[in-house]
Structure 1
Amino acid sequence: MTDATLVTPTQKFSDPDLTADGKRRARVPLAQLRTLWINTGTLCNIACRNCYIESSPTNDAFVYISRAEAAAFLDEIENDGWPVREIGFTGGEPFMNPDMLGMLEDALDRHFSALVLTNAMQPMMRRHVRDGLLALREAHGDRLTLRVSLDHYTAALHDEERGAGTFDKTLEGIDWLAAEGFSIALAGRTCWGESERAARAGYAALIAARSWPIPAERPDALVLFPEMDAQEDVPEITEGCWDILNLSPSKMMCASSRMVAKRRGDTVPVVLPCTLLTDVPRFGMGATLAQAAAADGGLFDQGTVKLCHPHCARFCVLGGASCSAGPVG
């Protein structure tokens, strides 16, 4: 890791091959593609204070991806033998996309596990969406999991992040999912100075009070994400960091995941290294998984991702977080 006292933040993460103090930048090859994420669009019914990709009711930087566009990637997975086990859906709020239920059906019918990241509010609670989810749960059982964003186990801190009244509305959605027998997980944040032990204890008390079938002690059932303050100075990651931190590149999210999304104005979706590297167009790896695996030059080396974005350090390497169903590490 580079010494933050020797270089200014503006110098960091600019050179794809070298850190600001001249060390070789860390890289992560694709070990095995296990999760394909589909960004359903950045439109959301709410605007969170610190949304990772600035989703909101007006941000359509990523437009709604269509069922046919998503199915083309499922076809490629099957035709080319990619070892994908899980299809993840993220946004924005996925249930705002009119093709969401159809995309879920396609993924589940092909025997993938499906994970949906949702705020469990009004878009999910519309009658036709609930009816569609019930039919999918009946047909596919626990291969469908909904991970609900509940930033804190108290209304005050959750609403501080997501807006007044959102806590109660989210609890209503989780209550419905639990009562109907869905596989549920929660996603919280660690931005209030609590220890992980204290946070899990607080969530466990809420879970017990609401009779939700969620084991708070399990990192894949209650995912606690690090805060993503874009103004915070973070160190760059060098090749030497793997030994210093006792980490393997294979444990990083981009070693086993890719995301597809469709930028406003583009005619086709683009493959991205992960769910977070959305703000810089040069992180696009191509229009197919095959093109992404061969991406070369600039930020990539034959599909290997060079860790030249602050999120790489803040969220994955130092934060130890992952968006997929299984924990990193």
Structure 2
Amino acid sequence: MTDAACANSTEKFADPDWTADGTRRARVPLDRLRTLWINTGTLCNIACRNCYIESSPTNDSLAYIRRAEAARFLDEIRRDAWPVTEIGFTGGEPFLNPDILPMLADALECGFSALVLTNAMQPMMRQRVQEGLLALRKVHGGKLRLRISLDHYSTTFHDEERGTGSFDRTIEGIDWLAAHGFAIALAGRTCWGESEADARAGYAALARARGWPVDAASREQLVLFPEMDGRTDISEITDACWDILKISPDSVMCASSRMVVKPRGETAPVVVPCTLLTDIPAFAMGSSLAEAEKAHGGMFDHGAVKLCHPHCARFCVLGGGSCSSSPAERGCP
């Protein structure tokens, strides 16, 4: 973007209401809450080179959410008739959380679809987890979906992000899911300078060779996420940018989703705008969906999210990223 309303500055994102050049910062109101994300905790079995929230085997800045804590939000959705259709689980690695299977069962039994973002490695491949997943698939079928992080269709580039040997272990997990009839999708990255067409062609060839039920031409079955390199400069988003970019605020992820997280040391989970702004206290919106809807002051304007973090621009607006599987969200048509 080259418009003056989106100009560069060394003091970007410092003020929640105004950009560095004194222009009113863009806001995204909650249009319709379709996806509620549960962050199962930041612990992960691996440490990726550019993990969006710096998950690792030692990072427990977000504690494990327990079944009863997640159930409280499911109860609120039903009691107050929130239009949620999907419960998403992400981390960290969700299958490290000891309550992941009962939380999935609760979401599915309440009538929601359930989406799990996983690396499909050892935590998912434990016998107890496999047996639990098979039982859930038998009852709920395609309402349970798993999106596997496969950063590239080649061993070299995937392992460059996730560590030597990770590609083969992830392939093993995807093979198991495909062989047992699970609804699966893939998530890759776009940081190697190839065109989207070439990337999709590479994933398509891999899926055919492995017999995976993945249509790489579908932006729902293969999601290609922008790289989140915080060292690179990024433009701020103002009200004028919607027309410049020819997109609508209601196409951005925080217009239709919220995330539940439990910061380490806290006694209860809190609601935050999205899957990326997980451990920044200023982005806590309250302890319930009702409180989040009314959040005002600081980073919020009566529930609307002020786009005052680089992730808002880099991933959601300029990058077109969306973690949900909802076809209504930009990045997942």
Name the TM tier (shorter chain): over 0.9
3-state SS of 2:239 partner: coil
Check conservation: 1:4, 1:235, Cα contact below 8 A.
no
| Structure 2 Cα separation of the partners of residues 79 and 326 of structure 1 | 23
Residue in structure 2 matched with residue 224 of structure 1 by the alignment: 224
Rounded to whole Å, the distance in 2 between the matches of 1:107 and 1:280 is: 27
The letter of the residue matching 1:241 is: C
What is the identity percentage for the equivalent residue pairs of Structure 1 and Structure 2?
71
Q: TM-score, structure 2 length as denominator?
A: 0.97
- Counterparts in 2 of 1:306-317, with a 5 A limit? 306-317=306-317
Q: Do the aligned residues in 1 keep the contact of 2:5 with 2:238 (CA within 8 Å)? A: no
Aligned to 1:63: 63
CA contact (8 A) 2:295 2:303 kept: yes
SS of residue matched to 1:185: strand
Letter in 1 for 2:133: L
Does residue 153 in structure 1 map to residue 153 in structure 2? yes
When the two chains are superposed, the root-mean-square deviation of aligned CA atoms in Å is: 1.2
Residue identity matched to 2:104? L
Q: Say if 2:9 and 2:21, in contact at 8 Å, map to a contact too.
A: no
The equivalent of 2:165 in structure 1 is: 165
Amino acid at match of 1:8: S
Structure 1 position 7, deviation (Å): 4.7
1:257 — aligned with what?
A: 257
Corresponding residue of 1:212: 212
Mapped to 1, the partners of 2:296 and 2:286 lie a distance apart of 10
Question: Structure 1: which amino acid aligns with 2:218?
Answer: R
Contact 1:44/1:96 (8 A) holds in 2: yes
Which residue in 2 is equivalent to 1:21? 21
Show CA shifts across 1:253-311 (max 9, x none): 00000000000011110100000012421000000000000000011011000000000
For 2:312, give the aligned amino acid.
Answer: C
Alignment partner, residue 105 of structure 1: 105
Taking structure 1 as the reference length, the TM-score comes to 0.98
Please give the per-residue CA displacement for 1:106-165, whole angstroms capped at 9, x wherever unaligned: 000001000000000000000000000000000000000000000000000000000000
Mapped partners of 1:290, 1:178: distance in 2: 39
Task: Please list every run of 5 or more consecutive structure 1 residues that lacks an aligned counterpart in the other structure.
Answer: none
Indicate conservation of the 8 Å contact 2:254/2:273, yes or no.
yes
Q: Supply the distance in 1 between the matched residues of 2:323 and 2:13 (Cα, whole angstroms).
A: 22
**Structure 1 equivalent of residue 49 of structure 2:** 49
Aligned length: 328
Query: C-alpha displacement at 1:8, in angstroms?
Result: 3.2
1:56 and 1:106 map into 2 onto residues whose CA distance is: 27
Q: 1:24 to 1:183 in 2, by over 3 A?
A: same
* Contact kept in structure 1, 2:263 and 2:279, CA below 8 Å: no
Q: Which runs of 5+ in 2 are unaligned?
A: none
Q: Deviations over 1:76-118 (max 9, x none)?
A: 0000110000000000000000000000000000010000000
Offset at residue 4 of structure 1 (A): 10
Change (3 A) 1:202 1:68: same
Residue type of the alignment partner of 2:242: W
